Amino acid sequence: MKSFSAFSGQTLFFALITLSFVNIAVCNEGFCSAPSILDAQPLYWKVTNPTLSPSHLRDLPGFTRSVYKRDHALITPESHVYSPLLDWTNTLGAFLITPSIGSHFVMYLAKMQENSNSGLPPRDVERFLFVLQGVVTLNDVLGTKHKLEVDSYAYLPPNTEHSLSSDASATLVVFERRHDYLENHTTEQIIGSTDKQPLLETPGEIFELRKLLPTSLPYDFNIHIMDFQPGEYLNVKVYCPL
Ligand SMILES: *[C@@H]1O[C@H](CO)[C@@H](O)[C@H](O)[C@H]1NC(C)=O
């Protein structure tokens, strides 16, 4: 199970978008996974494909497993509503988190189609994107092209010219946030992939943790990838008064 969490320095905001079964252990200390159709699916396929709802409830208007709370949300695919994204071409977007529910960032899925192109975020807004399906090409401010495959990501500082394009179907999750400037500190473009990030210590926990952005002062948020094997869960409960 993979989950994304967006954390910021000032307040704890927890956004969980996807449960996706990957790397299911075959047989380990008494736990065996039966071969299942889930194993054959690509990484992150559950982000856009409703699979856990009972078949007789699938596509039933009003049926959803989504939960929105003050400090977290679990948003399942049947709640996604796609519409065109401003300034993007051949792309549909589904907004999952926006400031209208009290967050200080926007989180949306972007489904790019053939010959699609991205628009730019508003002025002073930083952008983080993560590829969930397909391949996209990032053309950065220097004109360098970067091919981003599934599980890779990019951070674009505010007011940085760039564009994303795709020749075929591709799905991204995008976070955008009005950057909190700190005098004499600037952020830089970052391009990476999840598996190249080191596993971090998680005292008292058994899940695998990776951070996708530097934890240095200029960066005002971070994205954590937390990998849970079937049956694993968070042991330490964090209470953070807002
Ligand atoms: C920022 O840099 C300038 C020039 O080096 C310096 O005068 C100023 O004190 C710095 N500001 C802070 C908050 O460190």
Q: How many domains does the chain have?
A: 1
Residue with tokens 């505010």: 158
47 lies in some domain: yes
* Atom 13 of ligand 1, residue of closest alpha carbon: 183
How far is it, in rounded angstroms, from Cα 5 to Cα 17?
A: 8
pLDDT at position 78: 82
pLDDT given at position 152: 97
Q: Which of 181, 184, 217 to mutate to test the pocket of ligand 1 (most atoms within 8 A of CB)?
A: 184
For residue 241, being part of any structural domain is answered with: no
Note down the domain range covering 47.
2-227
Indicate the helix (H) or strand (E) that contains 21: none
- Give a yes or no: residue 169 inside a domain: yes
| Element containing residue 226 per DSSP (H, E) | strand 221-227
User: Global pTM?
Assistant: 0.81
- Residue 239 counted as domain residue: no
CA 218 from centre of chain: 21
234 domain residue, yes or no: no
Q: For CA atoms 62, 64, 66, 69, give the dihedral sign.
A: positive
CA-proximal residue: ligand 1, atom 5 (nearest):
184
Residues 6+ apart with CB under 8 A from 184: none
Nearest atom of ligand 1 to the alpha carbon of 184 = 1
238 found inside a domain: no
Here the CATH number for the domain that contains residue 187 is 2.60.120.10
Q: Specify the 3-state DSSP secondary structure of 129.
A: strand
Residue 232 in domain: no
Q: Which residue has the tokens 């004499």?
A: 184
Per the model's pLDDT, the better-predicted residue between 19 and 237 turns out to be: 237
Mean pLDDT of the 162-172 span: 97
Residue range 119-154, pLDDT digits in tens: 999 999 999 999 999 999 999 999 999 999 999 999
| Structure confidence at residue 34 (pLDDT) | 45
